[in-house]
Structure 1
Amino acid sequence: MKTLLKAVLGLLLLAVLLIAGGVALSWAPDRPVDTLKARWAPAPSQFISVQGMQVHLRDEGPKDDPEPIVLLHGTSASLHTWDGWVEALKGQRRVIRIDLPGFGLTGPAPDNDYHLTRYTGFMKDVFDQLGLKKVVLVGNSFGGSVSWMTAQAHPERVARLVLVDSGGYPYKATSVPIGFKLAAIPALRPIIANVLPRRMIESSVRNVYGDPGKVTPELVERYYELTLREGNRGALRERFKQSPGGENAGLIKGVKQPTLILWGSKDGLIPPDNAERFKQDIAGSQLVVFDGLGHVPQEEDPAQTVAAFKAFLNLK
Structure 2
Amino acid sequence: MGSSAFCKELGELRKERAVANSHFAAIDGCDVHWIDEGYANGLPAVLLLSAQWLGASHFDAFAERLGERTRVVRLDLPGHGLSGAFGDEDYCAARYASLVRAFVEHRGLGSHVLVGQSHSGIPACLLAAESTGGMAGLVLATSSGMPRDRAVPAGSPQVALHRTGSMNWYADRLRGLFKRPHSPTEFGAIAAAARDYGELPGREAESALRLRHFEPDLLARTLPRVAVPALVLWSEASTYLPAAMAEAIAALLPDCRGRTVIHDTGHLLLADAPRDAADLILAFLETLA
Structure 2 length normalisation: TM-score? Answer: 0.88
Q: Where is the helix percentage greater, Structure 1 or Structure 2?
A: 1
1: CA distance between counterparts of 2:126 and 2:71?
Answer: 22
Aligned partner (choices 89, 92, 97) of residue 66 of structure 2? 89
CA contact under 8 A between 1:79 and 1:98: conserved in structure 2? yes
Count of aligned positions:
279
Aligned partner (choices 287, 291, 295) of residue 259 of structure 2? 287
State the shift of 1:107 in Å: 2.6
User: Counterpart in 2 of 1:242?
Assistant: 213
Query: Against the structure 1 CA distance between its residues 302 and 257, is the aligned structure 2 distance closer, same or farther, given a 3 Å change threshold?
Result: same
Query: Against the structure 1 CA distance between its residues 156 and 37, is the aligned structure 2 distance closer, same or farther, given a 3 Å change threshold?
Result: closer
SS at match of 1:36: helix
State the shift of 1:69 in Å: 1.0
User: Counterpart in 1 of 2:277?
Assistant: 305
- Between 1:105-114 and 1:81-90, the stretch displaced more is 81-90
User: Counterpart in 2 of 1:33?
Assistant: 10
> Does 2:171 align with 1:202?
yes
- Please give the root-mean-square deviation of Cα atoms over the aligned residues, in Å: 2.4
CA contact under 8 A between 2:122 and 2:218: conserved in structure 1? no
CA contact under 8 A between 2:180 and 2:273: conserved in structure 1? no
SS at match of 1:132: coil
State the shift of 1:231 in Å: 2.0
Query: Against the structure 1 CA distance between its residues 205 and 184, is the aligned structure 2 distance closer, same or farther, given a 3 Å change threshold?
Result: closer
User: Counterpart in 2 of 1:267?
Assistant: 238
CA contact under 8 A between 1:50 and 1:125: conserved in structure 2? yes
**Letter in structure 1 aligned against 2:211:** F
**Letter in structure 2 aligned against 1:167:** S
SS at match of 2:286: coil
CA contact under 8 A between 2:104 and 2:133: conserved in structure 1? no
2: CA distance between counterparts of 1:146 and 1:220?
Answer: 26
> Does 2:60 align with 1:60?
no
CA contact under 8 A between 2:23 and 2:34: conserved in structure 1? yes
> Does 2:89 align with 1:120?
no
State the shift of 1:45 in Å: 0.5
User: Counterpart in 2 of 1:145?
Assistant: 122
State the shift of 1:213 in Å: 5.7
State the shift of 1:53 in Å: 1.9
CA contact under 8 A between 1:105 and 1:229: conserved in structure 2? no
**Letter in structure 2 aligned against 1:80:** S
SS at match of 2:143: coil
User: Counterpart in 2 of 1:20?
Assistant: none
Query: Against the structure 1 CA distance between its residues 175 and 214, is the aligned structure 2 distance closer, same or farther, given a 3 Å change threshold?
Result: farther
1: CA distance between counterparts of 2:219 and 2:160?
Answer: 20
2: CA distance between counterparts of 1:309 and 1:66?
Answer: 11
CA contact under 8 A between 1:162 and 1:261: conserved in structure 2? yes
**Letter in structure 2 aligned against 1:236:** S
The answer for unaligned runs of 5 or more in structure 2 is none
Q: Look at both structures and tell me which one has the larger radius of gyration over its CA atoms.
A: 1
State the shift of 1:284 in Å: 3.4
2: CA distance between counterparts of 1:66 and 1:58?
Answer: 19
**Letter in structure 1 aligned against 2:202:** G
1: CA distance between counterparts of 2:30 and 2:249?
Answer: 32
State the shift of 1:76 in Å: 2.6
> Does 2:286 align with 1:314?
yes
2: CA distance between counterparts of 1:61 and 1:169?
Answer: 33
State the shift of 1:63 in Å: 5.4
> Does 2:196 align with 1:219?
no
Aligned partner (choices 107, 110, 127) of residue 84 of structure 2? 107
User: Counterpart in 1 of 2:143?
Assistant: 166
Aligned partner (choices 28, 34, 47) of residue 51 of structure 1? 28
State the shift of 1:199 in Å: 2.1
Query: Against the structure 1 CA distance between its residues 152 and 51, is the aligned structure 2 distance closer, same or farther, given a 3 Å change threshold?
Result: same
CA contact under 8 A between 1:209 and 1:300: conserved in structure 2? yes
User: Counterpart in 2 of 1:70?
Assistant: 47
Query: Against the structure 1 CA distance between its residues 154 and 33, is the aligned structure 2 distance closer, same or farther, given a 3 Å change threshold?
Result: same
